Amino acid sequence: MAISISYSHMDRFFGCGERFRRTYLEKDNSRPGVALPIGSIAHRMRAWYLENFVLGDRELDSKVGEELADLTDDLIREMITEPELHLTRAQLDAGVNATKIHAANLTRSIVKADAQNLWSKIGNAVSAERKIKLRVDGWPYPWSAILDSEHETEQGAQEIVDLKTAKNKPARDSVRSLQLTMYQFMRALEGKPTDILTHHHITKHKKPEVYITRTEGRTEEEIEPLIARAELYCERLEHEIYNPAPEGSWMCSPDWCWWFNECKYSTAERRPST
């Protein structure tokens, strides 16, 4: 995967530069953990709904629920049941099959909760999973993003919706995330305004909880931290500075890092992580 200025690339780079280097420069593939496919399936099923029943001309009927379940199960087999995943020690203790069954059931619950609590309330969508990649003068890498969905309200306001799945409830300031700032900035590069930023959060529980938070679009001043972070990211890439995760970080452990047992920083003296 080519390096770009995206929220996910910067998040991984500043989380652990060594992990970023192995992934994007050495192309050293790792197995995903359980959380990644669960979130990916939720995003793909929401996009399926929007593309067919909001952006497309299909009409909702009694068979939609059955089709939803079948498509979800197909993705579960493709992304959870069949592939080898990187499991934590607790998951290994529980057993590979038991862990995958639990993940599959969680995925079904999340997709169903999204259908029941969100899909019926989403209208006026203008895009689903739209990919943006732009070259901007003065920047060494392209800016890129995938917008979960874009909407236009009945009053004509332009809205960006970001879907998240997580074990815990969302932070109180989740709608202030740099990721939503990035999405608004990408639209601005296209000459498009953004009036509303919305965070849709679904907890990964047997009975998922749904949280929806909205706020006004960012001001120019509020976008400045994103630009500063992107400048630092590009500068460190240029000078090949790949600082590891801070010692004691949750991501620097055999549970969460595929390369932990062979990484020179996991046991050796570490460089500064700032």
Amino acid type, 114: D
Query: How confident is the model at residue 144, as a pLDDT?
Result: 97
**Which phi-psi region, left, alpha or beta, contains residue 193 (left: φ > 0; alpha: ψ -120 to 50)?**
beta
Query: From residue 73, how far is each of 41, 70, 235 by CA, in Å?
Result: 10, 5, 44
Could you read off the pLDDT of 83-95 as tens digits, one per residue?
Answer: 999 999 999 999 9
Residue 107 CB neighbours (<10 A): 26
> Do the strands 143-152 and 210-216 form a parallel or antiparallel pair, or are they unpaired?
unpaired
Residue with tokens 């497309």, as numbered in its chain: 56
Could you read off the pLDDT of 82-138 as tens digits, one per residue?
Answer: 999 999 999 999 999 999 999 999 999 999 888 876 655 556 889 999 999 999 999
Could you read off the pLDDT of 176-226 as tens digits, one per residue?
Answer: 999 999 999 999 999 999 999 999 899 988 889 989 899 999 999 999 999
Mean pLDDT of all residues in 253-262: 89
**Could you tell me which of 34, 102, 112, 30 has the C-alpha nearest to residue 66?**
112
Phi, psi (rounded to 5 degrees) for 216: -70, 160
Distance CA 41, CA 81 (A): 13
Distance CA 255, CA 86 (A): 8
Entry pTM:
0.89
What is the chain's mean pLDDT, rounded? Answer: 90
Q: What is the DSSP string of 115-155?
A: HHHTGGG--SEEEEEEEEEE--TT-SS-EEEEEEEEEE-TT
Query: How confident is the model at residue 268, as a pLDDT?
Result: 60
Domain 125-242 bears CATH identifier 3.40.50.2300? no
